């Protein structure tokens, strides 16, 4: 990860205040106006799902991009939030399901996810690079198999079905338009949170640890504590996404959090770009679009090949996903843009 460091610092300086400038306002308006032109399918199945999976990828991206810790367990963290909602709230499966109100289950779910994330962070904080990946992969696999084989708590292979989204303020929040705005609000809040934290003292300290851990330790910072807290924060983002995901599907089972799905989250973050928090959302949108429409382009039997090839091409020609591509092919525009800002 350290090779990102130099470029990232330059990028951070150059982007500066333009981050919350007109580009964001215009983009935000476009997202707000999207329901006016999109069908229900594009609102939820593409828009909503991209925002949710983008948030999970964002939680991975913040750890990887700013902390140098690539975690394959973020989907498991989101899954724990989803399972908590299914177990403590209502489900139709007849296993667990305590019918607690959403106002109780949702905060508990997010807290459980954040605490799990912090625990994973604490376990893996002493490792770096490929070892972090291995540990988090092992944890993701363990969570999957535990959920798959535990029938008392997780209801095994079948998982939970019939989990409703709440109805409040007179809205059914699983109806397409309200659900889209709910996802948009959560995603925007997470995005803004990441932008804020990365330039806070804490965020800069974590980035310092990514670049030179020994020096930061010599300066008197507690590396473990900072890392664990970074995991906790990213766990909150993943947890919110996990709650939305279970409302979206209305169900959760081990197949929702299996290793292939976890790797998909990494793919989203990587092809979107790891240097800016918008990257995971771009990556999630591309992956969701491909997963939905690839079978129309090349038939139901070969669509995975198309998805794979797309990833390969993006990763091959760009050092930082789609964001990197943009920087490579529009340098002049980029320059003019910056001077105008």
For other proteins, the binding residue among 66, 173, 181, 281 (CB under 8 A) is 281
- Dihedral of the CA atoms 115, 118, 119, 121 (nearest 10)? 160
Both tokens assigned to 289: 């679009």
Select 127 or 148, whichever has its Cβ closest to other proteins.
Answer: 148
Number of amino acids touching other proteins (CB under 8 A) = 64
Q: Please answer whether residues 279 and 323 qualify as being in contact, where contact means their C-beta atoms are separated by less than 8 angstroms.
A: yes
Q: Which of residues 45-64 bind other proteins (CB under 8 A)?
A: 45-47
Both tokens assigned to 172: 């059914």
Q: How many angstroms separate the CA atoms of 292 and 124, rounded?
A: 35
For other proteins, the binding residue among 90, 198, 226, 251 (CB under 8 A) is 251
Task: Confirm or reject binding of residue 256 to other proteins (CB under 8 A).
Answer: yes
Paired sense of beta strands 251-252 and 160-161, if any? antiparallel
Residue 315, CA distances (Å) to 23, 44, 259, 268, 298 in order? 26, 28, 21, 11, 22
Instruction: Give least dist CB 315 to other proteins, A.
Output: 17
Give the DSSP letter string of 284-323.
Answer: HHHHHHHHHHHHHHH-TTTHHHHHHHHHHHHHHH-SSHHH
Select 119 or 315, whichever has its Cβ closest to other proteins.
Answer: 315
Select 44 or 132, whichever has its Cβ closest to other proteins.
Answer: 44
Stretch that binds other proteins, among 1-9, 60-68, 77-85, 278-286 (CB under 8 A): 278-286
For other proteins, the binding residue among 6, 21, 107, 129 (CB under 8 A) is 21
Binding mask 68-107 for other proteins (x = CB under 8 A): ------------------------x-x-------------
Select 34 or 100, whichever has its Cβ closest to other proteins.
Answer: 34
For 252, phi then psi, to 5°, come to: -145, 135
Q: How many angstroms separate the CA atoms of 283 and 103, rounded?
A: 31
Q: What is the DSSP letter of 158?
A: G
Q: What is the DSSP letter of 126?
A: T
Q: Which of residues 104-163 bind other proteins (CB under 8 A)?
A: 148-149, 151, 156-159, 161-162
Stretch that binds other proteins, among 120-128, 205-213, 230-238, 295-303 (CB under 8 A): 295-303
Task: Confirm or reject binding of residue 193 to other proteins (CB under 8 A).
Answer: no
The per-type count for the chain, helices as H runs and strands as E runs, is 17, 4
Select 67 or 176, whichever has its Cβ closest to other proteins.
Answer: 176
Task: Confirm or reject binding of residue 322 to other proteins (CB under 8 A).
Answer: yes
For other proteins, the binding residue among 13, 130, 170, 301 (CB under 8 A) is 301
* Of 269, 262, 302, the residue nearest 147 (C-alpha): 262
Crossing angle of helices 74-88 and 259-272, in 10° steps, is 130
Residues of this chain that interact with other proteins (CB under 8 A) are: 15, 18-19, 21-24, 26-27, 30-31, 34, 37-42, 44-47, 92, 94, 148-149, 151, 156-159, 161-162, 249-251, 253, 255-256, 258, 276, 278-279, 281-282, 285, 291-292, 295, 299-301, 303-304, 322-323, 326-327, 330, 333-334, 337, 340-341
């Amino acid at each position: 990860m350290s090779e990102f460091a130099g470029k990232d610092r330059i990028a951070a300086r150059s982007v500066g205040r333009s981050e919350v400038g007109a580009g964001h306002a215009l983009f935000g308006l476009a997202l707000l106006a999207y329901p006016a032109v999109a069908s229900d399918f594009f609102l939820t199945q593409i828009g909503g799902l991209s925002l949710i999976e983008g948030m999970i990828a964002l939680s991975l991206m913040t750890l990887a991009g700013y902390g140098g810790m690539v975690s394959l367990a973020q989907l498991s963290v989101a899954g724990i939030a989803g399972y908590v909602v299914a177990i403590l709230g209502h489900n139709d499966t007849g296993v667990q399901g305590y019918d607690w109100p959403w106002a109780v289950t949702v905060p508990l779910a997010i807290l459980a996810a954040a605490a799990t994330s912090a625990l994973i962070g604490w376990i893996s904080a002493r490792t770096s690079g490929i070892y972090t990946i291995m540990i988090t992969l092992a944890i993701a696999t363990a969570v999957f198999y535990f959920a798959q084989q535990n029938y008392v708590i997780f209801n095994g292979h079948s998982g939970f079905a019939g989990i409703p989204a709440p109805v409040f303020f007179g809205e059914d929040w699983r109806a397409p338009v309200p659900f889209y705005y709910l996802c948009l609000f959560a995603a925007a809040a997470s995005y803004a949170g990441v932008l804020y934290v990365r330039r806070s003292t804490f965020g800069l300290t974590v980035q310092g640890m990514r670049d030179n851990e020994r020096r930061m330790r010599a300066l008197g910072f507690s590396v473990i504590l900072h890392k664990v807290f970074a995991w906790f924060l990213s766990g909150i983002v993943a947890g919110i996404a996990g709650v939305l995901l279970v409302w979206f599907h209305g169900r959760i089972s081990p197949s929702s959090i299996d290793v292939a799905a976890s790797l998909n989250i990494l793919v989203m973050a990587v092809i979107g770009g790891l240097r800016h928090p918008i990257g995971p959302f771009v990556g999630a949108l591309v992956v969701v679009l491909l997963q939905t429409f690839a079978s129309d382009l090349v038939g139901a039997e070969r669509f995975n090949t198309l998805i794979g090839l797309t990833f390969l091409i993006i990763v091959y020609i760009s050092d930082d996903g789609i964001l990197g591509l943009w920087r490579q092919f529009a340098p002049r525009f980029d320059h003019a843009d910056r001077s105008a800002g």
